[in-house]
């Protein structure tokens, strides 16, 4: 009786190749070839551990080891305390470590970083799928490769072009490191950086001559990359970094003769979601107490800094405009507006870092123009907040 193969006994050619590699090659070489030839490159989850285990990079400075931080819950004012606050009252701060890594490749619009052993750095993105879901990771490069001599810092991070994330995630990695970079260091920025991105760099002393726009049309091989991963989740904050950033940017903006104490309402009426459904009624109420309505997206960065460093009080629906409270004086009252079921922790934590007086108000969700609901605000609760934090003092009375 002839010998018959069962179909499951027939191994596909790729499996045979992998088995042969496993038997014939040393483990380290096998790993490199397997990922470069037969599949996608491996992911490096922690640059520090990789540097210490491979010896392929230098740990230049350990600013802080990983630890836990706590913050007090904000006053709830007879509202249920949101779970997002109670669940994140204690939160991790990751090790804050500056590395010098030779021969790093930067690729694609996402700024994917390939380390000298062929593995891809995870720490300029937040979730594994941010890396593996990118075509810059999953496709082979067939374009030009350019050698770049000298020292570089990348300012291309996942979500980095968003206003909040540019300041909180990206620029905060420069805290305590600017003075450690070599004098010839150049800063790689997204080629589609907007005026407020460039203005912030100018105010930090990173002018056009130090910037290198990157559009992903080439692969750059960097002689030395100076790299510090963010030390906090994007909804949390690196200790001391926002205080440094707010003070540094504000100090670089000269005062204007028109600056004066002001009470601010940040409007999102042109946004696709999280705007105030009854905004005109809210604005009328706030105006009686000296508040003015502003649209941050219509103001230059220096003008936003001038406004917020004179803020006596801030009312705003959740959104990037509240990032500007990093320029406000300690103790400034802040009221953040949410819709039920869409509550986030970003600015509660920011207010704790900046020593602001933070409260929140949860309104009813209203179907709006975008995927996120708008907010129907309880005006009586807003007026009660005004009375509790400002009393009867007129606008501009702060000395």
- Render pLDDT for 248-298 as a digit per residue (tens, 0 to 9): 999 999 999 989 999 999 999 988 889 999 999 999 999 999 999 999 999
What's the pTM value of the predicted model, to 2 decimals? 0.88
pLDDT of residue 369: 78
Range from 14-28, 51-65, 204-218, 379-393 carrying the lowest mean pLDDT? 14-28
pLDDT, mean of residues 119-143? 88
pLDDT of residue 16: 58
Mean confidence (pLDDT) of the chain = 90
Q: Is residue 370 predicted with pLDDT exceeding 90?
A: no
Strands (E), the chain: 43-44, 58-64, 67-70, 90-93, 96-107, 112-114, 120-121, 145-154, 186-190, 211-214, 219-227, 262-266, 291-294, 311-317, 333-339, 357-366, 374-376
Q: Is residue 48 predicted with pLDDT exceeding 60?
A: yes
Q: Is residue 189 predicted with pLDDT exceeding 60?
A: yes
Please report which confidence band the pLDDT of residue 11 belongs to, taking 50, 70 and 90 as the band edges: very low
CATH number for the region 262-390 comes to 3.40.50.360
pLDDT of residue 225: 98
Q: Structural domain boundaries of the chain? A: 22-59+95-241, 262-390
How does pLDDT run across 311-343, given as a tens digit for each residue? 999 999 999 999 999 999 999 999 999 999 999
Q: How far is CA 384 from CA 217, 279, 392, in A?
A: 55, 17, 12
Q: How far is CA 223 from CA 49, 145, 205, 261, 327, in A?
A: 21, 13, 23, 49, 37
Residue with tokens 């490096």: 44
Neighbours of 304 (CB within 10 A): 23
Q: Are strands 219-227 and 291-294 parallel, antiparallel or unpaired?
A: unpaired
Q: In sequence order, which ranges of 270-371 are alpha helices (DSSP H)? A: 279-287, 301-308, 346-354
Please report which confidence band the pLDDT of residue 4 belongs to, taking 50, 70 and 90 as the band edges: very low
pLDDT of residue 141: 83
Q: What percent of the chain has pLDDT over 70?
A: 89
Judging by beta carbons within 10 Å of its beta carbon (0-12, 13-18, 19+), is residue 149 exposed, middle or buried? exposed
Phi, psi at 97, each rounded to 5°: -135, 130
Q: What percent of the chain has pLDDT over 90?
A: 78
Q: Alpha-carbon distance 260 to 397, whole Å?
A: 10
Q: Reduced to 3 states, what is the DSSP secondary structure of residue 130? A: helix
pLDDT of residue 13: 56
Range from 216-220, 291-295, 334-338, 367-371 carrying the lowest mean pLDDT? 367-371
Tokens of 183: 């004098």
């Amino acid at each position: 009786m002839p010998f018959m193969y069962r179909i499951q006994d027939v191994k596909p050619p790729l499996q045979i190749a992998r088995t042969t590699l496993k038997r014939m090659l040393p483990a380290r070489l096998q790993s490199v070839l397997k990922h470069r030839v037969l599949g996608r490159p491996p992911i490096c989850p922690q640059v520090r551990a990789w540097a210490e285990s491979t010896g392929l990079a230098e740990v230049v400075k350990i600013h802080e080891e990983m630890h836990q931080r706590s913050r007090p819950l904000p006053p709830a004012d007879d509202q249920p305390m949101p779970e997002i606050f109670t669940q994140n009252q204690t939160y991790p701060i990751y090790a804050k470590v500056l590395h010098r890594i030779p021969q790093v490749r930067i690729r694609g619009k996402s700024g994917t970083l390939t380390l000298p052993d062929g593995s891809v750095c995870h720490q300029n993105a937040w979730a594994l799928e941010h890396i593996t879901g990118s075509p810059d990771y999953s496709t082979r490069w067939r374009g030009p490769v350019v050698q770049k001599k000298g020292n570089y810092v990348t300012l291309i991070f996942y979500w980095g072009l968003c206003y909040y994330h540019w300041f909180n995630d990206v620029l905060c990695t420069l805290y305590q490191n600017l003075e450690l970079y070599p004098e010839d260091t150049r800063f790689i920025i997204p080629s589609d950086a907007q005026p407020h991105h460039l203005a912030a760099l100018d105010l930090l002393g990173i002018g056009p001559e130090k910037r290198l726009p990157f559009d992903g049309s080439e692969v750059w091989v960097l002689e030395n990359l100076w790299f510090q991963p963010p030390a906090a989740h994007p909804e949390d904050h690196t200790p001391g970094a926002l205080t440094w950033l707010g003070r540094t940017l504000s100090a670089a903006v000269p005062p204007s003769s028109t600056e004066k104490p002001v009470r601010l309402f940040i409007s999102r009426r042109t946004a696709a979601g999280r705007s105030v459904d009854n905004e005109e009624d809210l604005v009328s109420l706030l105006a009686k107490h000296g508040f003015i309505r502003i649209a941050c997206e219509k103001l230059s960065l220096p003008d936003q800094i001038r406004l917020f460093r004179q803020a006596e009080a801030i009312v705003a629906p959740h959104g990037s405009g509240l990032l500007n409270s990093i320029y406000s004086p300690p103790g400034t009252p802040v009221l953040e507006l949410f819709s039920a079921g869409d509550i986030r922790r970003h600015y509660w934590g920011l207010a704790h870092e900046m020593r602001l007086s933070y409260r929140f108000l949860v309104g009813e969700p209203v179907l709006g123009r975008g995927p996120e609901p708008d907010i129907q605000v309880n005006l009586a609760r807003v007026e009660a907040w005004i009375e509790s934090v400002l009393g009867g003092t007129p606008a501009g009375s702060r000395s």
